[in-house]
Amino acid sequence: MYETKQEKHEQPLVIKNATFITSAARSDQFITPNKPMIAVCGKSNVGKSSFINMLANRKKLAKTSSEPGRTRLVNYFDFGEFVLADLPGYGFARVSKTEKAKWAKTLDEFFKDKEKISHVFMLVDSRHDPTADDVQMLQFLNFHILPFTVVLTKSDKLSKMKLKEHLRAIAADLYLGERNLLATSSETGYGKDDVLRKISAVIRVAQDETLGVLDEETEG
């Protein structure tokens, strides 16, 4: 419903066996995979871990928690055709300034090597207006010209009509077209195929870039 023309024809990627790779607490522990890397970011408790588990068809690949804000790590998962990086959540009120600065530094360093990152899924709660932190994250992605898709989470908590309303409002708030947003629910699996189609497209583009197809096209 909200996909681009190009992605309508894309087959949803089939994920068979996703596994945990490693956690990084500092930038010298970041990894450089030899396949496309997709990052997942968003405020704590927005549903990042649940989103990852939904994609992996696993209940406990990523640890979920109702006690937000305790992960300061970048967690890497091998999804076969791509690597997924689960970034530390932001916007947790009860952390100190020092902790916040540390978080900002980790993220800065993670995105510094942006050739490594094929796409970013930025998760936003479908029930609420984007927070100031969400807006700042989006500005950061725009500033670094990182390709991203906004994923609305927990859409099972809204009626179909409300979801449509919220999607429109959130898109407007973030100055995005509605097609740049995908509504999902890790609870029901709603929107999962749209995400998997997006991932197929991301992988295809990354492979074309590796083969130099895009370079030739722009030169010719």
Ligand X SMILES: Nc1nc2c(ncn2[C@@H]2O[C@H](COP(=O)(O)OP(=O)(O)O)[C@@H](O)[C@H]2O)c(=O)[nH]1
**Interface residue list for Mg ion (CB under 5 A):** 48-49
User: Which residue number, 36 or 47, has a Cβ lying nearer to ligand X?
Assistant: 47
- Rounded Cα distance between 29 and 160, Å, is 43
Stretch that binds ligand X, among 30-38, 61-69, 96-104, 197-205 (CB under 6 A): 61-69
Binding residue for ligand X, selected from 88, 89, 130, 191, defined by CB under 6 A: 89
Give the up-direction half-sphere exposure of residue 49: CA atoms within 13 A in the CB hemisphere: 21
Instruction: Check residue 46 for interaction with ligand X (CB under 6 A).
Output: yes
Find the shortest distance in angstroms from Cβ 115 to ligand X: 26
Cβ neighbours of residue 146 closer than 8 Å, sequence gap 6 or more: 111, 114, 117, 120
User: Which residue number, 45 or 206, has a Cβ lying nearer to ligand X?
Assistant: 45
CA proximity to 77, closest of 39, 43, 123, 129:
39
109 binds, among Mg ion, ligand X, none (CB under 5 to 8 A by kind): none
User: Which residue number, 163 or 206, has a Cβ lying nearer to ligand X?
Assistant: 163
- Rounded Cα distance between 217 and 159, Å, is 45
Find the helix or strand (DSSP H, E) in which 42 lies.
strand 37-42
- Which residues form the interface with ligand X (CB under 6 A)? 42, 44-50, 64-66, 68, 89, 153-154, 156-157, 185-187
